[in-house]
Structure 1
Amino acid sequence: MKENHENLYPSKWLNKASAGERVASELRMRIIAGRIESGSILSENKLAAEFSVSRSPIRDALKMLASENRIRLERMGAVVLELTEKEIQEIYDVRLLIESFVFERLVKMDTSAVVKELSKTLEMMKIAIKYHDADDFSFHDVLFHETIIKSIDHSHMLMIWNNLRPTIEGLILLSMRLRFEERIEDFDRVIRNHELYIEAIEKKDRELMVQSLHKNFDDVQGRVDDLWMSQQTYTKGVEHND
């Protein structure tokens, strides 16, 4: 796969990825960012040429994106589907349901190991802020929540999360890149919210858990707003380059 300055998906996240996963990751980001508009037709031949791979990895990538409802496979090619604000809100609704369920399970468990792991991840998020690294912050933000979900060892909850994760990752990445550019001071609040998560889990305090969920998921509307701003920024950039 060609590496170029216009790639939206961080190449450092793709060390162990297959060719198909690499293509899917980049196309997904372009769709979420609005660089590839809804209704566009993706051609296997054109994509194979662009990414310097055979058609087989392209087919694999398109199957992945179809399973995530980012595209619809048809005879004439793959049709890009719109990622609406309603769908984004629904994705975060499901996240809230998952994490609420997980919290209730954690109340009955030994949480010392997960608290330790979350604390380490939070320190990495703080380092990313110090060095103004939006991509690294996003990586550890996703890891933070994934660690919570994995901690209860619930296979079906993990299956739901894994299905949502690629889109959530893209939404967070675009949002955080914009925040690092325009609202870096907002990260003091973001860190405090994550500290509240850890405190709620450590104390097994349901009231604190509700408060932590409330603070973190009330922030979703801001992320949705960030997404639309990011889409406009990327689209204008592409138009300007053309």
Structure 2
Amino acid sequence: MAESLEWSAPVQLAPSAPKLGEHVAQELRRAIISDTLTRDTHLVESRLSEKFGVSRGPVRDALTRLCEEGLVESRRRGTYVRGLSIEDIEELYSLRKLIETDAVLRCIGTDGADFSPIEKALERMRSALASGDASAFAHADLGFHSAFYTVAGHRRIEAIWLQYRPTFAGMLEVTNAQDASLTPTMEDHEVLLDAVATGDRARALDLLEDHLEGSRRRMLAAYGRYSEPD
């Protein structure tokens, strides 16, 4: 059973920083999804508190959030890394296909829909691509997809997306790392928005399906490289 918590997380959390739990969760999530923190690693609150330089409260909040996402689990002797399995990846992408398809259809079906939130996110992607900032590009990429849920105007579907968005953010870092260039990804998003904005339902759904399927395959390929079979 893995026990080590020694990994090189870029931890720079000021004690007065807001939402420390979210920052701790982000670093742990990144380490878990990249398999730096492996399955069955014991996550000891006191050791994590020391590592991140925060009290146990934010650590506890972070572990609760990661438990809700299914990345860690509580056992009799504490909290342990559960990680991602092939089944988890398949479930996450099938869920995303369901809810994002619905969001896109609602955007197309809304008379006078305001697509400016999606357009602004796309512009942030262009700026990040031009500056070579992969992290900013990934953030804008997730913002682009989030904007569809906002424009769709379905609060509960958006709530489902927001619950799992952090997990997809971590997976996006993994899949983007495999891409020699992010330009094709940029183009995928541009044509998707064009199809939605012009009301081309069939084209929009085909583009969305291709986009999500490509992401799923890259994630599964990455999983095969860094994880051993269960």
Normalised by the shorter chain, which TM-score bucket?
Answer: 0.7 to 0.9
Deviations 1:13-51 (A, max 9, x none): xx9741211111111111111011001111111111111
Match of 1:193 in 2: 188
Q: CA deviation at 1:222?
A: 3.9
When residues 110 and 226 of structure 1 are mapped into structure 2, their CA distance, relative to the original with a 3 A threshold, is farther
Structure 2 unmatched ranges of 5 or more: 1-6
- Determine the C-alpha separation between the residues in 2 that align with 1:218 and 1:202: 22
Match of 1:139 in 2: 139
Task: Name the SS of the counterpart of 2:74 in structure 1.
Answer: strand
Deviations 1:116-152 (A, max 9, x none): 3322222221221222211000000000000001112
Kindly indicate whether the alpha-carbon contact (under 8 Å) linking 2:108 and 2:197 is maintained by their aligned counterparts in 1. no
When residues 154 and 27 of structure 1 are mapped into structure 2, their CA distance, relative to the original with a 3 A threshold, is same
The match for 2:210 among 202, 206, 215 is 215
Match of 1:90 in 2: 91
Kindly indicate whether the alpha-carbon contact (under 8 Å) linking 2:175 and 2:215 is maintained by their aligned counterparts in 1. no
2:38 is matched by which residue type in structure 1? E
- Determine the C-alpha separation between the residues in 2 that align with 1:169 and 1:148: 16
Q: CA deviation at 1:208?
A: 1.4
- Determine the C-alpha separation between the residues in 2 that align with 1:111 and 1:144: 19
Deviations 1:93-120 (A, max 9, x none): 1111111111222232135521x33222
Deviations 1:67-96 (A, max 9, x none): 111111234221110301221122111111
In proportion to residue count, which structure has more helix?
1
2:28 is matched by which residue type in structure 1? L
Kindly indicate whether the alpha-carbon contact (under 8 Å) linking 1:121 and 1:143 is maintained by their aligned counterparts in 2. yes
Match of 2:51 in 1: 50
- Determine the C-alpha separation between the residues in 1 that align with 2:112 and 2:222: 34
Identity of aligned residues (%): 28
Kindly indicate whether the alpha-carbon contact (under 8 Å) linking 2:124 and 2:137 is maintained by their aligned counterparts in 1. yes
Which structure has more RCO (C-alpha within 8 Å, separation ≥ 6)?
1
Which stretch shifts more, 207-216 or 90-99?
207-216
Match of 2:154 in 1: 154
TM-score by length of 2: 0.85
Match of 1:19 in 2: 20
Which stretch shifts more, 62-71 or 99-108?
99-108
* Equivalences, count: 219
- Determine the C-alpha separation between the residues in 2 that align with 1:166 and 1:52: 22
- Determine the C-alpha separation between the residues in 2 that align with 1:78 and 1:31: 13
Kindly indicate whether the alpha-carbon contact (under 8 Å) linking 1:174 and 1:227 is maintained by their aligned counterparts in 2. yes
The match for 2:199 among 201, 204, 207 is 204
- Determine the C-alpha separation between the residues in 1 that align with 2:131 and 2:226: 25
Which stretch shifts more, 164-173 or 80-89?
80-89
Task: Name the SS of the counterpart of 1:151 in structure 2.
Answer: helix
Match of 1:28 in 2: 29
Deviations 1:182-235 (A, max 9, x none): x11xx3321221112111111111111122113212312443146337847xxx
Q: CA deviation at 1:8?
A: 5.6
Match of 2:79 in 1: 78
- Determine the C-alpha separation between the residues in 1 that align with 2:65 and 2:216: 27
Question: Which aligned pairs between 1:227-238 and structure 2 lie closer than 5 A?
Answer: 227-228=222-223, 231=226
